[in-house]
Amino acid sequence: MQDPIKTLFAECIQTQIAAADLLQEPLERAADLLVESLLHGRKVYCCGENLAHATSRHFAHIMLTGLSFERPPFPVTSLHADYGALQHERMFAQQIQAVGQASDVLLVFNASTRAPRVSAAMEAALSRQMLIIAITQEADNDISGLLGPDDVEIRIPTTNTARASEHLLQVSNMLCAVAEHRIFPQETDS
């Protein structure tokens, strides 16, 4: 009988290896879009479906406070997840309708197959001519179909929600680190 903990580590490692091979190009495109938006004074809004919303909040926090070094805050906001809202399915969409502007960025996180609240936010972002970065997993059924040619999808190579959740956090840290180093290259030259 195989040790269940070793099996979990093996699954994590296998997903890491597959991600390293597949995600280089979409991560570069997402970082380019993020950096260009920040340098041009645009805002970034983020949200996540269910537990992935914690990753959205983490991403907004590290973009505001810094990940690798002390720096000025980036204008990134995690949309509020008011699960008691009357229109629960539209809670993120309503916020985008209220504050989203053309060429702002909506960054969405989803580790499961369905994402009704995030999909509604994406539709609102599209109506506002915003750009979208989507971090999803292989079995995503809702998000991919909403992306346009200027949007970016980072599709984590797994259908396992736990492995996808781990990688959402990793990708959010990577995007912040790349943005910091591109915007403040002098901090990494030492």
| Angle, alpha carbons 66-144-41 (nearest 5°) | 35
Sheet holding 76-78, edge to edge: 76-78, 44-48, 105-109, 131-137, 152-156
Report the amino acid identity of residue 167. H
Residue pLDDT, tens place only, 58-71: 999 999 999 989 99
Nearest to 174 by CA among 84, 78, 80, 62: 62
Query: What would the two tokens of residue 41 be?
Result: 């004074």
pTM for this prediction:
0.92
pLDDT value at position 2? 73
Phi, psi of 122 (to 5 degrees): -65, -40
Query: What would the two tokens of residue 134 be?
Result: 């989507």
Query: Hey, where are the domains in the chain?
Result: 4-185
pLDDT value at position 187? 79
Query: What would the two tokens of residue 180 be?
Result: 């910091």
H or E element at residue 152: strand 152-156
Below-50 pLDDT ranges, the chain: none
Give the class (CATH, top level) of 4-185: alpha beta
Q: What share of the chain is helix, strand, coil (3-state, %, to 5)?
A: 55, 15, 35
